[in-house]
Amino acid sequence: MDRRGFLKELGLVGGSGVLLAMFPWLQSCSDEARREVAGEKARLAIVGTGSRGQYHIQNLLNTPEAEIVALCDIYPPHLAEAAALCPGAKCYSDFDELLKDTNVQGLVIAVPLSSHAPLSIAGLRAGKHVFCEKAMAYTVDECKQMYDVWKETGKVLYIGQQRLFDKKYIRAVELINSGEIGQIVALRNFWFRNNDWRRPVPSPEFERLINWRLYRDTSCGLMTELGCHHLQNGTWILRSLPDYITGSGDIVYWKDGRDVYDSVSTIYHYPNGVKMSFDSVIANKRYGMDEQVLGSKGTLELSRDRLYHEEPRPKTGIRQLIGQIEQGVFDNSVFAGTSWAPELGSNDPGEPIVSSAAVHNGASMVGASGDGSEEMIAAYCRSVITGKQAPNLVEESYYAAVLALLGLQAMEEHRIVEFPQEYVIPYL
């Protein structure tokens, strides 16, 4: 599926349709937006050329609207690797010097979390458009600063919350809004891995530069690196803010000198009584990752692209017969036993979110691939060329980061944290 078919696959031919009103940032993916920039290229600088920066480079090299004109990094090996991918790009080791380059229209920032806000704010004030990796910033104060500077400068700002461009998530939110799963009663999010999250370093002096995720002075750990993706669902799906947050975090297993938690658990309480949870450990991968939306009529497993109805739709006669045999309906023995049996959940295989939503919406979709990253970076390029901000994108990203950071605050301070009203921005 090429990107030109992205909105058509979603049933948004020509940039019109109900979904476009629900997801206004997708305007930057419309046919009209593509025609507006036809033949033009956004002149971009990649700031931070490690693994994520090089991932963006690969996507941009396949994006017709992009031209990588500059690279910037303080770590020479990464800069050399990126330069090999972009032989025509000018290389910088000094970010301030890069900002003076008038050939650069936009920045793609993929650096440690603690540098997100300082570099993004400097870039916006220097007249550059900015794409900054998630999470938005290292502190709640910095998130608000970054938001205020964006409003003040009028430049384009994208934050790398790529699920906002992921077909599975777009379809899932459409199903939720249509009432397909009934009233939402809970959101459960988890991300489990089994690795130390550590990267090899050529010599000890580069430890904190390369493994910045493991240290509190540059990272907020699991909450911002993983959790901000899932916690985005609170704003996107519930269209509300929590009134208070609780959580706990510990270093349970990886006692190797890191000072960010390897185990976190949070609960976000909403005014209507709905709770959203996020749990993550990185010493057990049995359950992997998922975002689950529990409704009175059904359940969505967003990462797994599955929809389950509380009352599964009727199966064919042969499937019903097989199911009855499997459940022992035709056993000769008379039922007898304990008065309690474990409720192990349904064995119903469910159905794909994408095809279910396609049937609901009348669009022709048989599946979805990718995570939205390619669509998002291409949309950013079009916004750089036109100077038009993708609506609602900054606000969604702002709250995703703020929720992650407030969860971390609850852990570190061992207390219930109320949502601070001074960080409410005009949106919901």
DSSP characters over 266-331: EEEE-TTS-EEEEEEESB--TT-EEEEEEESSEEEETTTTEEEESSPPPPPHHHHHHHHHHTTTT-
- Asked whether the beta carbons of 57 and 86 are under 8 A apart, the reply is yes
Distance of CA 192 to the CA centre of its chain: 16
Q: What is the pLDDT of residue 13?
A: 40
Q: What letter does residue 350 receive in the DSSP assignment? A: -
One of 3.30.1160.10, 3.40.50.300, 3.40.50.720, 3.10.180.10 is the CATH number of 3-164+371-398, namely 3.40.50.720
Length of the chain: 428
* Domain assignments of the chain as residue spans, ordered by start: 3-164+371-398, 168-370+403-423
Backbone angles phi, psi at 268, to 5 degrees: -110, 120
The arithmetic mean of pLDDT across residues 29-52, rounded, is 94
Q: What is the pTM of this model?
A: 0.90
The arithmetic mean of pLDDT across residues 351-371, rounded, is 60
Superfamily of segment(s) 168-370+403-423: Dihydrodipicolinate Reductase; domain 2 (3.30.360.10)
Digit-coded pLDDT (tens) for 277-304: 999 999 999 999 999 999 999 999 998 8
| Closest residue by Cα to residue 399 from 380, 372, 423 | 423
Torsion of CA 27, 29, 35, 36, to 10 degrees: 50
- Asked whether the beta carbons of 86 and 73 are under 8 A apart, the reply is no
Q: What is the pLDDT of residue 344?
A: 76
The reply to whether omega before 135 is within 30° of 0 (cis) is yes
Q: What is the pLDDT of residue 31?
A: 83
- Asked whether the beta carbons of 242 and 403 are under 8 A apart, the reply is yes
Arithmetic mean of pLDDT over the chain: 90
Structure tokens at 119: 């570099």
DSSP characters over 105-130: -EEEE---GGGHHHHHHHHHHTT-EE
pLDDT-based confidence at residue 15 (cuts at 50, 70, 90): very low
